[in-house]
């Protein structure tokens, strides 16, 4: 479990540290303070520099270029602009960012460095841009060893979409990054296959019942449901409501129901790893947030998952305070306040979170 985090040269962080981290960590702060960047940096750390993780981080922010390619099946190519990951949005030989974590078992780190490509350092890249020899390389080092040690870039530092096919199954510490838009349906279906007909299925059902107690069962319409729905849709999953004969599409039950479904499925598939949730309260009414936190905290303890989440909501912080009494030295809860321009997050332990909630002290 990560106990401390250091970020150097990533996006808006020249040098940033968080300490006193626990089992569940809620990141708060104003807009543009860097909360999401912290989640991204942890995701890249846990993925050991996998190109697909880089692509996910860049594409979700729209940091991609579309280039027309005549004669190709799609008629265009997408390139991710790696420069946005580096402080100052500049990429040149020597540009570098590092993420490192102090763990209770073993330290972990990953470093991304821009180098010029030449016959001596091109070596045997596993992920390389299509076409001629690229102008730049992204060298990935750290502990454990990088999933892909050398990634080919274009002469202006773009990552070709084809590089994302080079994936290595993560060993030991999986991570899932949930953005405010949640997962794509095909990703969620893949995770659901690890839940169905296991004890985790009961946890998912319990999570949905926090939002609507009338739900009796949850299922997916077909194993290939994702192929029938457009990207970003909420089709495929259905629920059985008490007193009704026909199932109801879960998308009919609102944003909060879908959000709870995604979080519950995701945490069951992060055993021994990290769950990252951006804007965790999206779509949820304040009345269910205490139940949400209790479910996440208990599941995190049972499955040995560490949770990092962000919020702008006072209700979300206040609801977290309700479960702080359940925390202990092995499974602490923290709130981490990130302030623009500050190099260190301000940590609040569970007793301070409770006091702030009782006295209505602003910690966001």
CATH topology of domain 175-218+253-358: Rossmann fold (3.40.50)
Residue 179 scores a pLDDT above 80: yes
CA distance 7 to 155: 26
Kindly report the pTM of this predicted structure: 0.89
Q: pLDDT at position 272, please?
A: 92
Answer yes or no: is pLDDT of 69 > 90. Answer: no
Residue-level pLDDT at 364: 65
Instruction: Give me the pLDDT at residue 127, please.
Output: 47
Which burial class, exposed, middle or buried, applies to 126 when counting CB atoms under 10 A from its CB (0-12, 13-18, 19+)? Answer: middle
Query: 106 or 253: whose pLDDT is higher?
Result: 253
Distance CA 318, CA 330 (A): 22
Position 355 scores a pLDDT of 84
Confidence (pLDDT) at 155? 75
295-349: pLDDT as tens digits: 999 999 999 999 999 999 989 999 999 899 888 888 999 999 999 989 999 999 9
- Structure confidence by residue, pLDDT tens digits, 125-139: 444 444 444 578 899
Q: Between 115 and 363, name the one with better pLDDT.
A: 115
3-state SS, one letter per residue, for 241-295? ECCCCCCEEHHHHCHHHHHHHHHHHHHHCCCCCEEEECCCCCCCCHHHHHHHHHH
Tell me the average pLDDT of the chain.
Answer: 85
Domain positions in the chain: 48-165, 175-218+253-358
d(Cα 293, Cα 283) in Å, to the nearest integer? 15
pLDDT band at 73 (very low <50, low <70, confident <90, very high): low
In the predicted model, is pLDDT for residue 212 greater than 60? yes
């Amino acid at each position: 479990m990560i106990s401390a985090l250091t970020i150097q040269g990533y996006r808006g962080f020249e040098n940033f540290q968080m300490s006193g981290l626990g089992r569940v960590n809620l990141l708060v702060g104003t807009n543009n303070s860097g909360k999401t960047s912290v989640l991204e940096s942890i995701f890249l750390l846990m993925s050991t520099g996998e190109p697909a993780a880089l692509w996910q981080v860049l594409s979700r922010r729209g940091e991609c270029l579309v280039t027309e390619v005549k004669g190709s099946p799609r008629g265009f190519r997408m390139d991710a602009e790696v420069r946005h990951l580096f402080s100052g949005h500049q990429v040149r030989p020597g540009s570098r960012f590092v993420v490192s974590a102090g763990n209770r078992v073993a330290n972990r780190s990953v470093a991304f460095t821009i180098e010029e490509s030449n016959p001596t350092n091109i070596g045997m890249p596993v992920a390389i841009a299509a076409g001629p020899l690229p102008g730049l390389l992204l060298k990935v080092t750290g502990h454990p060893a990088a999933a892909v040690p050398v990634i080919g870039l274009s002469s202006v530092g773009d990552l070709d979409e084809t590089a994302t096919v080079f994936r290595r199954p993560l060993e030991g510490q999986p991570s899932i990054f949930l953005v405010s838009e949640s997962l794509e349906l095909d990703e969620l279906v893949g995770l659901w296959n690890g839940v169905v007909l296991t004890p985790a299925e009961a946890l998912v059902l319990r999570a949905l019942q926090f939002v609507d107690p009338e739900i009796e069962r949850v299922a997916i319409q077909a194993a290939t449901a994702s192929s029938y729905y457009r990207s970003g849709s909420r089709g495929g999953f259905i629920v059985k409501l008490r007193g009704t004969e026909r199932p109801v599409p879960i998308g009919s039950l609102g944003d909060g129901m879908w959000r709870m479904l995604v979080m519950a499925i995701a945490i069951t598939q992060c055993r021994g790893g990290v769950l990252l949730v951006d804007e965790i309260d999206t779509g949820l009414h304040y009345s269910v947030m205490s139940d949400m936190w209790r479910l996440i905290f208990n599941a995190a303890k049972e499955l040995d998952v560490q949770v990092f989440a962000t919020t702008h909501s006072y209700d979300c912080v206040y609801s977290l305070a309700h479960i702080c009494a359940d925390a202990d030295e092995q499974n602490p809860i923290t709130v981490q306040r990130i302030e623009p321009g500050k190099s260190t997050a301000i940590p609040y332990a569970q007793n301070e979170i409770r006091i702030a909630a009782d006295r209505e002290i602003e910690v966001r």
